[in-house]
């Protein structure tokens, strides 16, 4: 099992770009495949999660060429042009691949089976199976349809009006993608708006999408038309460098070309509220998504309350925000974040345990934690962590290691490649020791 040992940095300085946005990359492959005509994608994230999506569409007969200059070209087949995959589709570690494909494949005229790795097979699928079944989907799985492998018997679907009990872009997107091939209109309302990349990209591909607050509707039978897409850098990946620069002395990083969609920028708001010196500059729009550069400098951090509407806007960044809290004065309270329990790992449990090993006082709650910050006091021999197969936990603890006095070793770090290939190389490139 691979491990990484990291030692304290004197400072972090330089200009970097992080790899493409994972959520946008998944959607670009999916919509490009079911659009009519050609789609070219620049800046696609080639992490394992996105490659699982790409492979799935190849299995369904879509021609996808990866050119040497990084451009990915898709010959779209149209909504009804996919073919029945000959074997099961393996989503690997990727919840987005599994849940969005479950939606998309529910309305296809063929049979398909989706599975994933040991972690994904433990995650709840009922949240998509339930609304899709209301649309007429026939989906079978372990534990009464809640766990993968999922077997999907493609069916004729009808539009529904669905009030989702969770703020989840994966649930919303699964229902909307099913809605594309359903009769009539499909409407989804969320308790709090989650990331809206699917809505934006459907519109970018020429579909009519109606939106009002946390409600979105789509009429079935609409045609998507192939487009050129540029994927911005992933703010979830940039977040590791934001926190790294904030907690490391004498640091200044310019993170260029980052997606700053307002449904994703909770981390910037939280870190600013903690006293972080962060600025978004050079704002522009690319392929229907807002983009900017983020300038971040070392800062003295203070505690904050993180709860309510900001949670879905920062959901994937909460592990690294917990690291920032460990270096901040006072008690940071994270609440309303029960969703963290069903991510790639139980991120409340894993982060609370790890921060305690660094000598930080943490009180765990069902939906969050209290973190009493200050200077972490790692054990004299250094600290050793297990990622639990969770890329964001692995990278969060490596970031913590940049500012702790003893070396930090993280085990099971292969998972970093699911979302951030080249993470360590990029970090070493800006690290001054």
Q: Which of 50, 97, 164, 170 binds ligand S3P (CB under 6 A)?
A: 170
34, 158, 175 from 397: Cα distances, Å: 39, 46, 35
Q: Does 187 bind ligand S3P (CB under 6 A)?
A: no
> Sign of dihedral through CA atoms 176, 180, 186, 187?
positive
Residue 403: CB minimum distance to ligand S3P, A: 26
Q: Does 315 bind ligand S3P (CB under 6 A)?
A: yes
Residue 343: CB minimum distance to ligand S3P, A: 6
Residue 372: CB minimum distance to ligand S3P, A: 27
| H or E element, residue 73 | strand 72-77
Q: Does 120 bind ligand S3P (CB under 6 A)?
A: no
Take residue 290 and report the two structure tokens written for it: 């807002």
Q: Which is nearer to ligand S3P, 194 or 248 (CB)?
A: 194
Distance CA 74, CA 58 (A): 10
Choose the stretch contacting ligand S3P; rule: CB under 6 A; options: 28-36, 166-174, 208-216, 321-329: 166-174
Residues in the chain: 433
Q: Which of 173, 217, 251, 404 binds ligand S3P (CB under 6 A)?
A: 173
Distance CA 312, CA 169 (A): 9
Q: Which is nearer to ligand S3P, 90 or 234 (CB)?
A: 234
Q: Which is nearer to ligand S3P, 164 or 298 (CB)?
A: 164
Take residue 176 and report the two structure tokens written for it: 């909307």
Q: Which is nearer to ligand S3P, 97 or 155 (CB)?
A: 97
User: What is the full DSSP assignment across 394-425?
Assistant: HHHHHHHHTTSSS-EEEE--GGGGGT-TTHHH
In the residue annotation, 316 being an active-site residue is answered as yes
Residue 171: CB minimum distance to ligand S3P, A: 6
Q: Does 396 bind ligand S3P (CB under 6 A)?
A: no
Residues 193-212 touching ligand S3P, rule: CB under 6 A, are: 194-195
Distance CA 182, CA 266 (A): 34
> Could you tell me which residues come within 8 angstroms of residue 51 by beta carbon, excluding any fewer than 6 positions away?
none
Residues 59-118 touching ligand S3P, rule: CB under 6 A, are: 96
Half-sphere exposure of 88 (CA within 13 A, CB side): 13
Distance CA 362, CA 195 (A): 29
What residues are annotated to the active site?
316
Residue ranges in contact with ligand S3P by CB under 6 A: 23, 26, 96, 168-170, 173, 194-195, 315-316, 339
């Amino acid at each position: 099992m691979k491990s990484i040992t990291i030692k304290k940095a004197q400072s972090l300085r330089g200009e970097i770009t992080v790899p493409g946005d994972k959520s946008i990359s998944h959607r670009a492959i999916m919509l490009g495949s079911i659009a009519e005509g050609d789609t070219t994608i620049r800046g696609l994230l080639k992490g394992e999660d996105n490659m699982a999506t790409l492979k799935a569409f190849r299995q369904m007969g879509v021609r996808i060429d990866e050119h040497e200059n990084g451009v990915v070209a898709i010959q779209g087949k149209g909504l009804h042009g996919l073919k029945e995959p000959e074997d099961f589709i393996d989503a690997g570690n990727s919840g987005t691949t599994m849940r969005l494909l479950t939606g998309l494949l529910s309305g296809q005229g063929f049979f398909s089976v989706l599975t994933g790795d040991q972690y994904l097979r433990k995650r709840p699928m009922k949240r998509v199976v339930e609304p899709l079944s209301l649309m007429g989907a026939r989906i079978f799985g372990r534990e009464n349809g809640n766990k993968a492998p999922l077997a999907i018997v493609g069916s004729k679907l009808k539009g529904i009006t669905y009030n989702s009990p969770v703020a989840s872009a994966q649930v919303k997107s699964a229902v909307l993608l099913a809605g594309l091939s359903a009769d009539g209109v499909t409407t989804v309302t969320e308790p709090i708006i989650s990331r809206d990349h699917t809505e934006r990209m459907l519109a970018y591909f020429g579909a009519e999408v109606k939106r009002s607050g946390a409600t979105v509707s789509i009429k079935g039978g609409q045609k998507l038309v192939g487009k050129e897409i540029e994927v911005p850098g992933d703010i979830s990946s940039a977040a590791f460098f934001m926190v790294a620069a904030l907690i490391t002395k004498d640091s200044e990083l310019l993170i260029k070309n980052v997606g700053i969609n307002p449904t994703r920028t909770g981390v910037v708001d939280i870190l600013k509220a903690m006293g972080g010196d962060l600025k978004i500059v050079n704002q522009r729009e690319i392929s229907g998504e807002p983009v900017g550069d983020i300038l971040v400098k070392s800062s003295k951090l203070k505690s904050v309350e993180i709860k309510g509407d900001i949670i879905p806007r920062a959901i994937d960044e909460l592990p690294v925000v917990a690291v920032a809290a460990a270096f901040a004065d006072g008690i940071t309270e994270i609440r309303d974040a029960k969703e963290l329990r069903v991510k790639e790992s139980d991120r409340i449990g894993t982060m609370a345990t790890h921060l305690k090993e660094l000598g930080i006082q943490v009180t765990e709650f069902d939906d969050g934690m209290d973190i009493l910050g200050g200077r972490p006091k790692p054990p004299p021999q250094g600290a050793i962590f297990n990622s639990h197969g969770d890329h964001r936990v692995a990278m969060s603890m490596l970031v913590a290691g940049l500012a702790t006095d003893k070396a930090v070793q993280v085990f099971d770090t292969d998972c970093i490649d699911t979302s951030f290939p080249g993470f360590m190389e990029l970090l070493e490139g800006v690290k001054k020791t």
